[in-house]
Structure 1
Amino acid sequence: MATHKILVIDDSRVIRMRVREMLPEGDFEILEAKDGVEGLNLINQVHPNLIMLDFLLPRMSGWEVYQQIQSHADLQLIPLVLMSGRKEEVTEKIPEPFEHFEFIEKPFERKALIEAIREAMRKASELRRQREREAAAAAPVAVGTGASADVQALTQRIEHLEQEVATLKKQMGQLLMFIKQRLGSK
């Protein structure tokens, strides 16, 4: 029996089949939903280990499904890959950088899909660690441990700054790639 569930929410049967074929064989089950309502129901029923969500869906859009996911703290921790044929439609609603999910533009190749899944898992893991640190920082500190609390606060600040630097590096790389593409097309 599969221990990991991957939910692919896309109105295109071709995309759902393509994702299924591109994923490496492993100990997981691929669930499919053809619209946002069906997808949201499955998310709430099975709490999948990964969600691949098309942004443009019938009955309930991917944007609306995304908003529902973001309104529940436990669902926010599920790695999410948003898919769309037009990135502009996503960035219209959700400005970059995409902090808590990964984006992949359709059509995509297997290598890009695997990388998007890895990155979505990394982002979800970072969010989980951030929440754990915040919970630990919010926990009451025993009397006489003021120096220890100061060190912990500084450590958390450093980790936060390191994350910001990593985000800025990624944004710079994306900007450079965009400029190179624009210069190359002229």
Structure 2
Amino acid sequence: MQTSKAAGPRKILVVDDEAVLVDTIAYNLEQAGYRVVTAADGSSALDAARSETPDLIILDLMLPGMDGLEVCRQLRRESNTATTPIVMLTAKSDEIDKVVGLEVGADDYVTKPFGRRELLARVRALLRRAEYAPNSEGLGDTGEIPAARQPRNELAAGPLRIDLAGRRVNCRGQDMELQPKQFDLLAYLVRNRGTVLTRDQLLHNVWGYDYAGDTRTVDVHVRWLREKLEEDPANPKMIQTVRGVGYVFRW
């Protein structure tokens, strides 16, 4: 997580090469009480993210030079922006563009054209989740811990150790690198182990009640978790699919 910042208006970086759209988004955000900085291309976006340390980034997919996907990839590799919420803007309706955006580390996406209320709702939801995500140190060992004896800030299930305070995951003795939403989803599944959860339940409880995305988002994140945590992702033992319903964590 990012370190806490001084009290004051949240700062949002808006990246798009359409000047009229940037002005419109900036105006609406400022009217809602946010501070806004802008960039018109990928290189400028990276510079602004590094120097301005925004609380959230609204990033267009199609940018001149370096596109939004590459910008997102680079931001996720850097310590000061690794967990900064990113909303991807795309003019395309093809599902593959949305999935790819999520796969490189975006937290949410909005398809153009979009309404003012929709964008502000996404921004508020992501900032709220980032504000209340805990941030501290500590990770348990890799031995089994009975549920009744687990520390309140740690979850343990089979080979998994989840440090809720430090937002770290250890699986079979190896530290795992998870994106913020991957971590949130895994923690929610483990907290509710043995309970079959629908995709709508997961969207509501992990992404937030006002998240307007579709259930494909859940499937993409589950696939990532399986690839990182399961010994055989094609035959998962921990995160299992319940056909026609959703997912369940079993161990």
Task: Find the counterpart in structure 2 of residue 182 from structure 1.
Answer: none
Deviation at 1:114?
Answer: 0.9
Task: Find the counterpart in structure 1 of residue 97 from structure 2.
Answer: 90
TM-score, normalised with respect to structure 1: 0.69
Task: Find the counterpart in structure 1 of residue 65 from structure 2.
Answer: 59
- Alignment CA distance shift 1:29-1:118 (3 Å): closer
Higher helix proportion (structure 1 or 2): 1
Distance 1:110 1:161 in 2: 36
* 1:13-92 equivalent positions in 2, closer than 5 A: 13-23=19-29, 25=31, 27-88=33-94, 90-91=97-98
Deviation at 1:72?
Answer: 2.1
Task: Find the counterpart in structure 1 of residue 14 from structure 2.
Answer: 8
- Alignment CA distance shift 1:27-1:10 (3 Å): same
Instruction: Give every structure 1 segment of 4 or more consecutive aligned residues whose post-TM-superposition deviation is greater than 3 Å.
Output: 122-126, 146-152, 154-167
Task: Find the counterpart in structure 1 of residue 199 from structure 2.
Answer: 168
Alpha-carbon deviations, 1:97-149, whole Å to 9, x = none?
x98511111111111111111233245457x44xx48x43x157xxxxx9634
Q: Which runs of 5+ in 2 are unaligned?
A: 1-7, 142-146, 163-185, 205-212, 217-251
Aligned-residue sequence identity (percent) comes to 24
Report how many aligned residue pairs link the two structures.
166
Equivalent pair of 1:9/1:39 in contact (CA under 8 Å): yes
Alpha-carbon deviations, 1:10-64, whole Å to 9, x = none?
0000110110222253553211101010011000111111110001101211011
Distance 2:55 2:90 in 1: 21
- Alignment CA distance shift 1:71-1:174 (3 Å): same
Q: Greater relative contact order (Cα 8 A, min sep 6): structure 1 or 2?
A: 1
* 1:106-117 equivalent positions in 2, closer than 5 A: 106-117=112-123
TM-score, normalised with respect to structure 2: 0.53
Distance 1:117 1:166 in 2: 26
- Alignment CA distance shift 1:28-1:125 (3 Å): closer
Equivalent pair of 1:100/1:124 in contact (CA under 8 Å): no
- SS of the aligned residue for 1:174 comes to coil
Distance 2:131 2:197 in 1: 15
Higher strand proportion (structure 1 or 2): 2
Distance 1:166 1:123 in 2: 20
- Alignment CA distance shift 1:81-1:95 (3 Å): closer
